[in-house]
């Protein structure tokens, strides 16, 4: 974006850099904002890269020579419409930005005042935001370019009165960029309608998983805060409630979800009493709390709201007002994803991307770059390894190497016979791996006795193959190892990639592929770390749950991002 000299209150050179956190003060009339908001957010997102706080003060005049101060905006229906629209457009035009609509100055004066004393200022002292702003932005119309300095001064003073900001923050007037759009708007100006006031309640309840807070969650939370004038009770699904969720292994832990919720709510409306409780069943406290007056639901969970009221009636409690908000559409959804903005779509987009940066690995030669690919039995890890091999990686199949070390005459062969006896021998003196498997899977002690013999031998072979690949000038190796993490082999690899699949699907696949019983398949899975534990150690997660083309897309994405990382690593040496 080109920002002309007169739009800013800082030298043009510094405006070239990106800012981490911005406060966008929207001064346009509420009913005009739905049309303008997409370009405003789009311009803002070219300057701000992390958090964009949005402060609404329709009608604020920054140019009449008097310093304006914040005033309360009544919680009208237009505000809630604008909030939904704003988060929806934000997902469309600046999905990477954490947008937060601030509500401290939205509400009736009386509900914000303590006792009967009516306060006319929503900010008796400046509010602390969890991310400190480093730029101010506004859509305020600049009629005369000569006014630019006065407006930015006024904006700084105004924002500093509302929020704790550093002194003389750079300020950007987005209005010149919007001129063309506004001219079009002038032509089709609609008369302003009489504002419809939104009903508010002392005690409101809302529930959800709140995994990786997205626009739909934020809309739900913002509107819940608008409807609340005292206490907001939030039920957050605990791990028990997540068993059937798609890619549940990637759901953030309960404590992290709660921490992020608290931070968001503290930013958007610190005056509300927020009570966050775990939800171990679909109803939680909503069916027993006598003080509750309203429940906020989405189109999808309306029936849940009705079920809550039935239970309340059974408990002799008054019914809750059900306030329904519309689900936000996801403009970027793929054919296999849901149309609404959903956490499961967001989780599926994480597949193949770098979730956590690789560990420090200066003890390893930089090339070949070694990926440790692991995952539960039946998770499709070997098919992923083969796809990576087709893209140019050297595949090291540890199951195969494991079989090699059983060759009669080797040290491991003799030690296994000593440990497990001649019963696990075939007539031709080779080891009957299937019989051995029956003995060790489901018996941690026996399995440990076996792996204590095998893992050091397999590790030697893996290292030999990696060295061979280095001598041959190969750039990438994939160590395909079922129990890489359990064996503590992370020191042998630069990155850990984990393949995940729901347990039921894994059991079916194992039964079909290996012709074993359900019980045997389960015993085998129980001998390995649960997927959620593996994911905690993963740099990249993949899943073969969908059609092969979907897996291929994930693998290609992961491969391309990996090439960039390796190149970057080489560049920094």
Ligand X SMILES: CC(=O)SCCNC(=O)CCNC(=O)[C@H](O)C(C)(C)COP(=O)(O)OP(=O)(O)OC[C@H]1O[C@@H](n2cnc3c(N)ncnc32)[C@H](O)[C@@H]1OP(=O)(O)O
Q: Does 482 bind ligand X (CB under 6 A)?
A: yes
* CB nearer ligand X, residue 75 or residue 437: 437
* CB nearer ligand X, residue 240 or residue 411: 411
- Smallest gap, in angstroms, from Cβ of residue 524 to ligand X? 5
Q: With CB under 6 A as the contact rule, which of the stretches 94-102, 188-196, 479-487, 551-559 interacts with ligand X?
A: 479-487
Q: Does 487 bind ligand X (CB under 6 A)?
A: yes
* CB nearer ligand X, residue 143 or residue 513: 513
Residue from 436, 469, 476, 507 that binds ligand X (CB under 6 A)? Answer: 436
- Smallest gap, in angstroms, from Cβ of residue 405 to ligand X? 8
Q: Does 498 bind ligand X (CB under 6 A)?
A: no
Q: Does 451 bind ligand X (CB under 6 A)?
A: yes
Torsion of CA 222, 223, 227, 230, to 10 degrees: -20
Distance CA 34, CA 40 (A): 10
Sheet of 135-138: strands edge to edge? 98-102, 48-56, 19-26, 135-138, 171-173
* CB nearer ligand X, residue 172 or residue 447: 447
H helix or E strand, kind and range, residue 50? strand 48-56
* CB nearer ligand X, residue 145 or residue 433: 433
Q: Tokens for 296, please give them.
A: 């906020």
- Decide: residue 117, CB within 10 A, 0-12 exposed, 13-18 middle, 19+ buried: exposed
Size of the site for ligand X (CB under 6 A): 25
- Smallest gap, in angstroms, from Cβ of residue 384 to ligand X? 11
211 contacts: CB under 8 Å, gap ≥ 6: 251, 252, 257, 343, 346, 347
Q: Does 57 bind ligand X (CB under 6 A)?
A: no
Q: Is the dihedral of CA 59, 60, 64, 69 positive or negative?
A: positive
* CB nearer ligand X, residue 39 or residue 375: 375
Sort strands 476-480 and 495-500 into parallel, antiparallel or unpaired.
Answer: unpaired
Site string for ligand X, 455-474 (x = CB under 6 A): x--x----------------
Q: Does 173 bind ligand X (CB under 6 A)?
A: no
Other CB atoms within 10 Å distance of the CB of residue 549: 9
Residue from 21, 378, 493, 558 that binds ligand X (CB under 6 A)? Answer: 378
Are 369 and 477 in contact by the 8 Å Cβ rule? The answer is yes
- Smallest gap, in angstroms, from Cβ of residue 484 to ligand X? 5
Interaction with ligand X in 320-349: which residues (CB under 6 A)? none
Q: Does 437 bind ligand X (CB under 6 A)?
A: yes
Q: Does 399 bind ligand X (CB under 6 A)?
A: yes
Interaction with ligand X in 514-543: which residues (CB under 6 A)? 524, 527-528
175-187 vs 33-45: helix axis angle to the nearest 10? 160
Are 8 and 1 in contact by the 8 Å Cβ rule? The answer is no
* CB nearer ligand X, residue 392 or residue 408: 408
Q: Does 450 bind ligand X (CB under 6 A)?
A: yes
Q: Does 478 bind ligand X (CB under 6 A)?
A: no
**DSSP codes joined into one string, 485-519:** TTTTGGGG-SEEEEEE--HHHHHHHHHHHH---HH
- Smallest gap, in angstroms, from Cβ of residue 340 to ligand X? 35
Other CB atoms within 10 Å distance of the CB of residue 74: 13
Q: With CB under 6 A as the contact rule, which of the stretches 213-221, 286-294, 310-318, 431-439 interacts with ligand X?
A: 431-439
Distance CA 165, CA 169 (A): 8
DSSP category for residue 319:
P
- Smallest gap, in angstroms, from Cβ of residue 492 to ligand X? 10
Q: Does 555 bind ligand X (CB under 6 A)?
A: no
User: What residues does 478 pair with on adjacent strands?
Assistant: 371, 395
H runs (alpha helix) in 269-396: 302-314, 343-350, 381-390
Q: Does 352 bind ligand X (CB under 6 A)?
A: no
Q: Does 377 bind ligand X (CB under 6 A)?
A: yes
> What is the binding site for ligand X (CB under 6 A)?
377-378, 398-399, 402, 433-434, 436-437, 440, 447, 450-451, 454-455, 458, 481-484, 487, 489, 524, 527-528
């Amino acid at each position: 974006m080109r920002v002309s000299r007169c739009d800013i209150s800082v030298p043009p050179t510094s405006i070239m850099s990106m800012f981490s956190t911005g406060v966008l003060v929207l001064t346009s009339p509420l009913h005009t904002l739905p049309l303008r908001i997409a370009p405003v957010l789009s311009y803002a997102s070219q300057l701000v890269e992390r958090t964009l706080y949005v402060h609404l003060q329709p009608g604020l005049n920054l140019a009449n020579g008097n310093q304006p101060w914040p005033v309360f905006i009544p919680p009208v229906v237009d505000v809630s419409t604008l909030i939904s629209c704003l988060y929806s457009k934000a997902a469309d035009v600046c999905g990477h930005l954490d947008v937060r609509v601030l509500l401290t100055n939205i509400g009736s004066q009386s509900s914000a005042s303590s006792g009967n004393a009516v306060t006319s200022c929503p900010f008796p002292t400046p509010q602390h935001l969890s991310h400190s702003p480093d730029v101010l932005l506004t859509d305020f119309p600049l009629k005369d370019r000569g006014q630019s300095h006065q407006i930015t001064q006024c904006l700084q003073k105004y924002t500093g009165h509302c929020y704790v900001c550093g002194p003389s923050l750079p300020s950007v007037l987005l209005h010149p960029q919007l001129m063309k759009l506004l001219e079009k708007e002038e032509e089709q100006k609609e008369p302003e309608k009489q504002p419809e006031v939104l009903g508010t309640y002392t005690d409101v309840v809302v529930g959800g998983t709140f995994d990786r807070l997205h626009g739909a969650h934020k809309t739900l939370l913002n509107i819940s805060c608008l409807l609340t004038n005292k206490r907001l009770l939030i039920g957050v699904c605990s791990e028990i409630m997540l068993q059937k969720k798609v890619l549940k292994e990637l759901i953030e832990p309960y404590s992290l979800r709660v921490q992020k919720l608290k931070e968001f709510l503290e930013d958007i409306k610190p005056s509300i009493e927020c009570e966050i409780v775990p939800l171990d069943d679909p109803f939680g406290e909503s069916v027993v709390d006598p003080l509750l007056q309203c429940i906020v639901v989405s189109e999808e969970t309306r029936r849940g709201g009705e079920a809550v009221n039935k239970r309340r009636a059974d408990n002799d409690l008054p019914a809750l007002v059900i306030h329904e908000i519309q689900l936000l559409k996801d403009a970027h959804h793929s054919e296999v994803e849901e149309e609404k903005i959903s956490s499961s779509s967001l989780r599926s987009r994480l597949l193949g991307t770098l979730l956590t940066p690789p560990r420090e690995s200066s003890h390893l030669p930089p090339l070949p770059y070694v990926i440790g690919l692991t995952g539960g039995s039946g998770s499709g890890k070997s098919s992923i390894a083969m796809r990576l091999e087709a893209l140019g990686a050297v595949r090291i199949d540890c199951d195969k190497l494991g079989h090699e070390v059983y060759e009669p005459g080797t040290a491991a062969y003799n030690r296994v016979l000593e440990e497990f006896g001649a019963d696990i021998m075939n007539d031709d003196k080779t080891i009957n791996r299937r019989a051995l498997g029956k003995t060790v899977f489901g018996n941690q002690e026996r399995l440990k006795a076996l792996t204590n013999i095998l893992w050091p031998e397999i590790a030697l072979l893996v290292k030999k193959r990696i060295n061979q690949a280095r001598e041959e000038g190969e750039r990438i190796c994939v160590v395909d190892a079922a129990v890489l993490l359990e064996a503590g082999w992370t020191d042998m690899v630069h990155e850990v990639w984990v393949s995940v699949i729901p347990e039921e699907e894994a059991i079916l696949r194992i039964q079909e592929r290996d012709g074993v019983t359900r019980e045997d398949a389960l015993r085998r899975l129980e001998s390995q770390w649960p997927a959620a534990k593996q994911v905690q150690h993963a740099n990249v997660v993949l899943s073969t749950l969908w059609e092969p083309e979907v897996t291929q897309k994930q693998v290609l994405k992961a491969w391309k991002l990996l090439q960039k990382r390796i190149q970057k690593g080489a560049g920094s040496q």
